[in-house]
Structure 1
């Protein structure tokens, strides 16, 4: 990649990221709960403004995190044996803290339609290359014109604050931050700094990854590898729900109770000639406000109470009650809008706890069928992404690449009773199903735990065999001094008996 090409690609990537910045930021803010206030006419008071703030309930976050909370991987199969699997899991997954950081990629996929993972060599430890989640607001990925599912090049834009010669960070007001672009293709990379309105070369070189070092996990891409955000269609629905809640709060504040109304009553005090009587100062002069207005005196309205009677002057005065508003209509509409929101986002109804109660595990599992289908779909998307990530990681580490049918072992997060799981595992083992494969089905099991369980099972088997051998050895004979020796002395029949026990 020559310098002119790198500069052109950096400019194109920076322009694309700038054009999509506002939409991406809005989606992230809606997920985090920073949403637009419900509509209200201009000039509303402070009390109404407070109700607008209270009316916002963040349902978008539930739609994003409900599926990814159940999306977790706990093991890996490279196709090269258990030792390679264990080493890859330790250096690839555990060393990069992906047990927790994997959620960042899934959140980006559910928010923007794309999760991005970056892979790069590790100068400190070549056996543990770096794997990091990336932000769609910082990384531009340009597809290959001939194959849109392959990347032609990538540009990562960051703002780097210049450092003074002594190493201290210079405040932004003293020296502006420098925009830096990292441009990658299949063989090389270049770092450019944006200074004086132009891109300036800083450093560059080749890399061993044989492809652009970014991997995508896309949500329902089309044939052109175009992505669509799952959150975007939920934003208008979230605004509508907030508006309903705002109107409900207004009704609760001002019309949720019976109100007494008086008509035909003039509270302004008048003299015998019918002229308005105004407030006086102690010296007898007419009182005026700072704006110069005179203040009329008002007749006593009276105070409503159980032991009081309200009496008003004038034969046209009428007193009556206005009934309270029926808030059930608001509740019905809010529930209907929430149901549509849940259906659109494939969130099961039990997340709205008032809709379901006293249900068995089977009933809840059936209610979660749509979420289970979505979760299975997401697993396929991220599985392909992790396989490609592991391939790049192996190249960066100088290791043999995993087989194309490599897979990550996803945790089973479906709703089941533990008794059902144990009963099913026991039946599988009795039919000859491998014990290790059955143990991997236990909730929370990962490769490290299964390895430990397998070792414990072998130790217990050796203890049982050693005990049987000691029981059958003639008195005076030398007894084996270790479990391994006892295991060698035991007959095949005794080994089988011990294994069954």
Structure 2
């Protein structure tokens, strides 16, 4: 692919424009990050709130948002990559995916994309070995990419990566990527300066976006931002619950018509007086271990009922159910509902909505991984893999089904539909392509052992009676 060179002045202009985009998006992404880490906006408290009130406000933060992200991301795992017409892992999988430890690191890509709405990967040739692809994952808080058509383009026009925004602390170093080269970038509050240009020869800006949900205008939406009002509501309800529990969840004893006991001088027995000449009352200790008595015949004892907490608890449960509906996460993942002794079929039914969401993520993220693998093939010099638009990633089946149920269904497909047995091996959950690769050899050894045993049995059998 032939791409015209980009002048340093044009690249600098692009990088400065990307810095403006990163400044624009960063506050929204920082707010999402704060909520994911439990640094929420506090619940409403009166202006004259005491130290105890503020302590309860801190303790009322109940962060459910990480579970909303973890539930679908834990159901996402790529276990292979096949070119069209092949059932074996492609060379770019073995030389691109595995050496970059993406079996481990892919989870961070999904969590970031689901949290913020999108994340990025960067695919470049290794500095010392140009035929070896290096794949890195980058947070959207640290990267901004420009697109001609953000809803449809596979690759951006250019992208800027900075670990933090420049400010009063000074300039920040990072990287700038375009369709021809990678630059060392140094950003201050006004502009970006580029240096150390390194050509990559890939013909595209080597940055791929992983979008959780993208509309026709190119806007991405994550799982966290729409749930922030619900999370704030839960925090407020928990705060009200703690206030009621701390100050009103116990019965209050009352006394009326009783002359309070007075503090007296230990020597004279006379009542002690305050600065205004009034007798000083002695505090009455009224706890559960004491029996109250009074010498006055008109004294009346009573109690004030405790504040019931059931309404607050039910309100928290209702908000969690709302959170489950909006996020499409099963209620039992958030601790709502009675989920004891459920069968695999019942559990699968409760997770059906989330699995449809996971299927949507697989389609989007799968396309992004396939782009990365094709670019890796281009770096490796594998032209066939670089141009294979029908290749596909293989996702681990994470649906809640019992192994016996799955094997029974596959067995029926083999017997009733004549599906080849080996074609069904990839459908058995809990095994990787590495495991399945050893099965043909093991099956051949098993067949050889069976045939050997049969031949030895025949050889050891006594000869039949001689014919006469």
Instruction: Using structure 2 for the length normalisation, give the TM-score.
Output: 0.85
Q: What residue in structure 1 maps to residue 158 of structure 2?
A: 153
Instruction: Using structure 1 for the length normalisation, give the TM-score.
Output: 0.80
Q: What residue in structure 2 maps to residue 301 of structure 1?
A: 284
Preserved contact between residue 159 and residue 178 of structure 1 (Cα < 8 Å): no
Q: SS of the counterpart of 1:409? A: strand
CA distance in 1, matches of 2:150, 2:396: 37
CA distance in 2, matches of 1:5, 1:203: 16
Preserved contact between residue 91 and residue 127 of structure 1 (Cα < 8 Å): no
| 1:20-99 equivalent positions in 2, closer than 5 A | 20-79=25-84, 81=86, 85-99=89-103
1:421 to 401, 406, 430: 406
TM superposition shift of 1:103? 1.0
**Which digits, 9 at most, give the CA deviation of each residue in 1:1-45, with x for residues without a partner?**
112212212212112212222221221222232322222113333
CA distance in 2, matches of 1:443, 1:419: 11
Note closer, same or farther for the CA distance 1:198–1:263 as it changes in structure 2 (3 Å cut): same
Q: What residue in structure 2 maps to residue 335 of structure 1?
A: 317
Q: What residue in structure 1 maps to residue 197 of structure 2?
A: 204
Preserved contact between residue 10 and residue 181 of structure 1 (Cα < 8 Å): no
CA distance in 2, matches of 1:32, 1:364: 29
Preserved contact between residue 425 and residue 439 of structure 1 (Cα < 8 Å): no
Are 2:395 and 1:410 equivalent residues in the alignment?
A: yes
Q: What residue in structure 2 maps to residue 483 of structure 1?
A: none
Preserved contact between residue 328 and residue 353 of structure 2 (Cα < 8 Å): yes
Q: What residue in structure 1 maps to residue 238 of structure 2?
A: 245
| 1:373-412 equivalent positions in 2, closer than 5 A | 373-400=356-383, 401=386, 403-412=388-397
Q: Mark the runs of 5 or more structure 2 residues left unpaired by the alignment.
A: 1-5, 265-270, 462-468
Are 2:349 and 1:344 equivalent residues in the alignment?
A: no
Note closer, same or farther for the CA distance 1:3–1:294 as it changes in structure 2 (3 Å cut): farther
TM superposition shift of 1:51? 2.0
Q: Mark the runs of 5 or more structure 1 residues left unpaired by the alignment.
A: 162-172, 280-285, 287-292, 476-501
CA distance in 2, matches of 1:300, 1:130: 75
Note closer, same or farther for the CA distance 1:345–1:77 as it changes in structure 2 (3 Å cut): same
Q: What residue in structure 2 maps to residue 104 of structure 1?
A: 108
Preserved contact between residue 332 and residue 339 of structure 2 (Cα < 8 Å): yes
Note closer, same or farther for the CA distance 1:111–1:307 as it changes in structure 2 (3 Å cut): closer
Preserved contact between residue 148 and residue 157 of structure 2 (Cα < 8 Å): yes
Note closer, same or farther for the CA distance 1:314–1:128 as it changes in structure 2 (3 Å cut): farther
CA distance in 2, matches of 1:222, 1:301: 68
Q: SS of the counterpart of 1:445? A: coil
CA distance in 2, matches of 1:13, 1:295: 76
TM superposition shift of 1:199? 3.9
CA distance in 2, matches of 1:89, 1:233: 36
Q: What residue in structure 1 maps to residue 354 of structure 2?
A: 371
Q: SS of the counterpart of 2:438? A: helix
CA distance in 2, matches of 1:234, 1:429: 46
Preserved contact between residue 331 and residue 337 of structure 2 (Cα < 8 Å): no
**Which digits, 9 at most, give the CA deviation of each residue in 1:73-124, with x for residues without a partner?**
11111126456x2533221221111111111111111111112111111134
Q: What residue in structure 2 maps to residue 479 of structure 1?
A: none
Preserved contact between residue 181 and residue 193 of structure 1 (Cα < 8 Å): yes
Superposed CA RMSD: 3.2
Note closer, same or farther for the CA distance 1:232–1:337 as it changes in structure 2 (3 Å cut): same
Q: What residue in structure 1 maps to residue 180 of structure 2?
A: 187
Q: SS of the counterpart of 2:378? A: helix
**Which digits, 9 at most, give the CA deviation of each residue in 1:174-200, with x for residues without a partner?**
xx6642243222223332324796544
Per mean C-alpha deviation after superposition, the further-off stretch among 222-231 and 85-94 is 85-94
TM superposition shift of 1:312? 7.7
Preserved contact between residue 73 and residue 111 of structure 2 (Cα < 8 Å): yes
CA distance in 1, matches of 2:390, 2:51: 62
